[in-house]
């Protein structure tokens, strides 16, 4: 029979209730203590992410991580490097307490972010596994926030579920961070679940749930305190011949767009039902293509505007296509169409089309094409009303010039 413990409210109430329940607070403190003994770790991570209501994995990838505790960094509290899960010599991302580095191996460039281009009160980094779970447990024990915690005995594991009932979403960028109000978030409730092995009293899996997306990480083959951080040099993990660029530079160069005034690259893709659609199949006078991603807040916020365009312009005058570039399967596309009431064509994209249109994987990006499929405008990102007006004006000017 499972042992089940529930406590509600802030720190003091939690302590009173937990202390009366077989000393489970002492166990959580023990787990926290074990995590705080980890000075370094190497491990594989299986990551999955999906949208609420859709069990199709948005991301299903394997990475290899080298993680170091770094108390001197008061933001994240860790240094780490992530590698390709198959080629563990191929570093893809890293952070040293001062900068983060992102490798673009296809173009042999290394993007460096020193967090000054877009300053925030926190550093939006996906923390390494043990740093991440340590801060979640510490938060559960010490926070004055309005939370509900359920601890269940799952025979070989302890399952911990934390529901945060605050007016803002809570993310763990190192320590817990209350995020600014998000206009794309319709429910600020944050839920975190951890699975702690009884064999070593350490977490091995964590699940994060928000109204916009859900993600899960599982740690495999962990080796603890086996590597030294004394000579940690972040840039040494990346090829020496890669060109260094500042954060944001790659995107700015792309959207100075080399495609403007040129013919749009052709494509052949599939819709939610598996029907093949090509750019050449669309015969409208103008065509608006949106590169989008299921789970992207601004992309979802743009749907009412795009639906409005679909009703205000005939199909002969304006074609409208959204291309999902985050690699969702057909039934996930259909689920998104149904739940969001999409009235225009949604196709599944590929890495190749993102590369040809120079989006770099960023979404949303809009391309406005004329009747000869020449790219006349590129709109990067989406801001309600502002982007609406920019796109509508460009469509109207294009219509006038083509008459």
pLDDT for 1: 34
Give residue 250's pLDDT.
55
More confident: 251 or 353: 353
Please give the pLDDT value at position 324.
92
pLDDT at position 193 over 60: yes
CB 5: neighbour CB atoms within 10 A?
19
- How far is the C-alpha of 354 from the C-alpha of 351, rounded, in Å? 5
Cα–Cα distance measured from residue 84 to residue 91, given in angstroms and rounded to the nearest whole number:
6
What pLDDT is attached to residue 253?
47
Task: Judge whether 6 and 146 are in contact, CB under 8 Å.
Answer: no
What pLDDT, on the 0 to 100 scale, is given for residue 27?
85
**What percent of the chain lies above the pLDDT cut of 70?**
87
| Count of residues in the chain | 403
Of the listed ranges 93-102, 137-146, 309-318, 327-336, the one predicted with least confidence: 327-336
Q: Please, are residues 365 and 378 in contact by the beta-carbon 8 Å criterion?
A: yes
Task: Tell whether the model's pLDDT for residue 12 goes beyond 50.
Answer: no
Q: Is 228's pLDDT higher than 50?
A: yes
Q: What is the pLDDT of residue 229?
A: 80
Cα separations (Å) of 334 from 53, 185, 371?
Answer: 12, 22, 29
User: Above 80 in pLDDT, residue 249?
Assistant: no
Residue 196, beta-bridge partner list: 158, 203
The band of 11, judged by pLDDT with boundaries at 50, 70 and 90, is: very low
Report the pLDDT value the prediction gives residue 318, as an integer from 0 to 100: 95
The alpha helices in 248-358, defined as continuous H runs, are: 249-254, 297-301, 303-312, 330-340, 351-356
Instruction: Please tell me which residue, 256 or 127, carries the higher pLDDT value.
Output: 127
d(CA 11, CA 150) in angstroms, rounded, equals 15
In angstroms, rounded to a whole number, what is the distance separating the alpha carbons of residues 121 and 137?
22
Q: How does pLDDT run across 210-227, given as a tens digit for each residue?
A: 987 899 999 999 999 999
pLDDT confidence of residue 220? 97
What are phi and psi for residue 156, nearest 5 degrees? -95, -10
pLDDT at 314 over 90: yes
Span 340-360, mean pLDDT?
89
User: What's the average model confidence in pLDDT over 333-354?
Assistant: 90
Question: Residue 52's pLDDT is what?
Answer: 75
Distance CA 287, CA 278 (A): 13
Across 96-213, where does the E strand assignment appear? 100-104, 109-113, 147-153, 157-164, 170-173, 175-178, 190-197, 202-209
Q: What average pLDDT score do residues 160-178 get?
A: 94
Residue 281, pLDDT > 70, answer yes
pTM recorded for the entire structure: 0.76
Indicate the pLDDT class of residue 285, thresholds 50, 70 and 90. very high
Mean pLDDT of 50-59: 66
Q: Is the pLDDT score of 13 beyond 50? A: no
27/8 Cα distance (integer angstroms): 18
Helix ranges, 169-324 (H): 249-254, 297-301, 303-312
Provide the pLDDT confidence category of residue 23 given band limits of 50, 70 and 90.
low
> What's the rounded Cα separation, in Å, for the pair 105 and 13?
51
Report the pLDDT value the prediction gives residue 16, as an integer from 0 to 100: 41
Confidence band for 332, pLDDT divided at 50, 70 and 90: confident
Q: What is the mean pLDDT of the chain?
A: 87
pLDDT reported for residue 398: 83
Cis peptide leading into residue 264 (ω within 30°): no
Residue 330: pLDDT band by 50, 70, 90 thresholds? Answer: low
pLDDT at 296 over 90: no
Q: Quick one: which of 357, 103, 79, 218 has its CA closest to 366?
A: 357
Residue with the two structure tokens 């990475």: 63
Mean per-residue pLDDT, 314-341: 86
Lowest-pLDDT range of 3-17, 56-70, 373-387: 3-17
Identify the residue whose tokens are 């995590």.
35
How crowded is residue 302: how many other Cβ atoms within 10 Å of its Cβ? 24
Question: Which value, to the nearest 10 degrees, does the dihedral of the CA atoms of residues 384, 389, 394, 396 take?
Answer: 130
User: Is 183 a residue whose pLDDT tops 90?
Assistant: no
């Amino acid at each position: 029979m499972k042992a089940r413990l529930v406590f509600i409210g802030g720190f003091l109430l939690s302590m009173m209730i937990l202390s009366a329940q077989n000393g489970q607070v002492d166990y959580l403190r023990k787990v926290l203590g074990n995590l705080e003994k980890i000075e370094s770790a190497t491990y594989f991570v299986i990551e999955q992410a999906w949208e609420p209501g859709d069990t199709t994995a948005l991301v299903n990838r394997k990475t290899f991580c080298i993680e170091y505790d770094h108390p001197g960094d008061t933001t994240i509290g860790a240094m780490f490097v992530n590698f390709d899960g198959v080629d563990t010599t191929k570093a893809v991302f890293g952070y040293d307490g001062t900068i983060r580095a992102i490798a673009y191996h296809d173009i042999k460039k290394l993007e460096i972010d020193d967090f000054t281009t877009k300053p925030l009160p926190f550093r939006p980094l996906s923390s390494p596994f043990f740093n991440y779970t340590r801060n979640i447990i510490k938060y559960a024990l010490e926070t004055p926030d309005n939370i509900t915690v359920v601890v269940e005995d799952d025979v070989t594991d302890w399952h911990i579920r934390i529901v945060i009932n605050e007016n803002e979403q809570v993310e763990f960028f190192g320590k817990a961070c209350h995020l600014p109000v998000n206009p794309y978030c319709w429910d600020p409730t944050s839920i975190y679940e951890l699975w702690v092995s009884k064999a070593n009293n350490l977490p091995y899996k964590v699940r994060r749930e928000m109204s916009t997306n859900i993600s899960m990480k599982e740690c495999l083959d962990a080796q603890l305190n086996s590597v030294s951080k004394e000579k940690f040099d972040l840039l040494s993990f990346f090829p020496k011949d890669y060109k260094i660029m500042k954060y944001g530079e790659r995107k700015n160069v792309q959207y100075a767009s080399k495609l403007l005034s040129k013919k749009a690259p052709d494509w052949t893709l599939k819709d939610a039902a598996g029907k093949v659609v090509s750019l050449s199949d669309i015969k409208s006078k103008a065509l608006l293509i949106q590169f989008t991603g299921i789970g992207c807040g601004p992309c979802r916020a743009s749907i009412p505007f795009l639906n409005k365009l679909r009703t205000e312009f005939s199909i002969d005058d304006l074609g409208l296509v959204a291309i999902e570039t985050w690699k969702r399967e057909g039934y996930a596309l259909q689920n998104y169409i149904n739940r969001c009431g999409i009235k225009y064509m949604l196709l599944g994209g590929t890495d190749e089309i993102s590369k040809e249109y120079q989006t770099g994987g960023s979404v949303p990006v809009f391309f406005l094409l004329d009747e000869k499929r020449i790219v006349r405008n590129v709109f990067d990102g989406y801001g309600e009303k502002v982007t609406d007006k920019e796109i509508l004006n460009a469509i109207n000017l294009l219509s006038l010039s083509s008459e």
